[in-house]
Amino acid sequence: MIELSLGQAIDRAIENAMSEDESIVLIGEDVPMLRAPLYARFGVERVMGAPISESAFIGAAVGAAMEGLRPIVELYMVDFLAVAFDAVLNHMAKLEAFSGGEWHCPVLIRAPSGGGYGDGGQHAQSLWGMLSAIPGLTTIIPSTPMDAYGLTRTALRHSGPVILFEPKLLSEEWLEFLGRLGREDLEFDVPENASGMVNEDEFAPFGRAVTRREGGDVTILSLAVGVHRALAAAEALASDNIQCEVIDLRCLSPLDRESIRRSVAKTGRMVVVDEDYRNYGLSGELAATVLEAGLHPTFVRVCVEGTIPYNHRLEKDTLPSVKRIIEAVKEICQS
């Protein structure tokens, strides 16, 4: 067991996997510097800096994966996946179906996501809703270093394409690289316990949610930073005698519908906390999940409702905050 940040845990998972599996290569802009220890260890042939050509190098990763490599592609931010969306939607996700199940594409895309450090709305999106909508992709979104490690390890043995969202606010390295930049007295609203212990032998399964806190009154469904906000809200609400169950979804595709239904059946109340856009995304899918099971909870969502503003205070209010979660929970406990 070692204590790592979420970003370090992913790095470690990659390093361990690369040392076990010669077919893994790491591709991305600036990776020789960003992942200098890997570059120093695995050399220029396995850690490949790429020009600013996301369509070409993600597309190439798909081809390389088809022909025997296992590429990991690093993006600077998930927002930039938009310039290479075709490689995702029309190629990596469809290969298996198009080939009648005969060909596979084991690509892992590592995509830092989310805001909270005042970088503006083209650099703060989560987008896991729309990406999870695409049949043929696996999407994983860790909220703890242990899950980050374990899910990455699993992804690097999986036969299909996986998108790994790395919440920047939980990755000390990204915060330093994009936000703090040497300014020592700059504070971000980073959840406590963003760092944590990692057991390097443990893999995490896809499609399995985790209950982070038990409670009988309300089910809060969340992921990534939202889980930490929800736990803080639950803590505060406990003193008002409201017991929240906090479920960390971890993986959106496949989605652990069973666990969601079990908890919602118990509490009859459901709050979705999501840093992604509200409409046509995760919160809706969760509503459908319970309705399909014939459950009829009260329901409220705490999501992002518009383009994320640059102003740091407005940004905070736009992203799901502890305050907004508490209000939402109280609202459905009263109704």
Partner 1 sequence: MELVNIYRNMSRSREFELAVAELWEQGLITGEMHASTGEELVAAAVTACLTAEDSLSLTHRCSSFVVARGVPLVPVIKELLGREDGLCHGRGGHMHLFSRDYRIATSGIVGASLPTGAGFALAAKRLRPHALAVAQIGDGALNQGMALETLNLATVWKLPLLVVCIDNGWAITTSSESLTAGSLPERARSFGWLVGNADGADIEDVSQAAKALVKNVRAGKGPAFLYARCPRMDGHYLGDALVRLARHPVSDGRDTLTKVVGGAFSQGGSGLISRATGLTRMMGAIGKIRHTPAHGDDKDPLVITRKRLSKQGYDVAKIDLEAQEEIRCAVAVSLGEEHD
Ligand X SMILES: Cc1ncc(C[n+]2csc(CCOP(=O)(O)OP(=O)(O)O)c2C)c(N)n1
Question: Is residue 158 flagged as an active site residue?
Answer: no
Write down the least CB distance from residue 94 to ligand X, Å.
14
277 binds ligand X (CB under 6 A): no
Binding to its own copies by CB under 8 A, coded x per residue (else -) over 275-314, reads: --x-xxxxxxxxxx-xxx-x-xxxxxx---xxx-x-----
52 binds ligand X (CB under 6 A): yes
3-state secondary structure the chain: CEEECHHHHHHHHHHHHHHHCCCEEEEECCHHHHCHHHHHHHCCCCEEECCCCHHHHHHHHHHHHHCCCEEEEECCCHHHHHHHHHHHHHHHCCHHHHCCCCCCCCCEEEEEECCCCCCCCCCCCCCHHHHHCCCCCEEECCCCHHHHHHHHHHHCCCCCCEEEEEEHHHCHHHHHHHHHCCCCCCCCCCCCCCCEEECCCCCCCCCCCEEEECCCCEEEEECCHHHHHHHHHHHHHHCCCCCEEEEECCEEECCCHHHHHHHHHHHCEEEEEEEEECCCCHHHHHHHHHHHCCCCCEEEEEEECCCCCCCHHHHHHHCCCHHHHHHHHHHHHHC
273 binds its own copies (CB under 8 A): no
103 binds its own copies (CB under 8 A): no
265 binds its own copies (CB under 8 A): no
Q: Cβ closer to partner 1: 91 or 228? A: 91
21, 30, 240, 331: residue in contact with partner 1 (rule CB under 8 A):
30
User: Of 89-97, 108-116, 152-160, 205-213, which part binds its own copies (CB under 8 A)?
Assistant: 89-97
Write down the least CB distance from residue 263 to partner 1, Å.
37
201 binds its own copies (CB under 8 A): no
257, 266, 309, 330: residue in contact with partner 1 (rule CB under 8 A):
309
Binding to ligand X by CB under 6 A, coded x per residue (else -) over 7-46, reads: ----------------------x-----------------
Query: Annotated active-site positions, please?
Result: 123
Q: Contact positions toward its own copies, by CB under 8 A?
A: 55, 79-80, 82-83, 85-86, 88-90, 93-94, 97-98, 120-122, 129-130, 132-136, 252-253, 255, 270, 277, 279-288, 290-292, 294, 296-301, 305-307, 309, 335
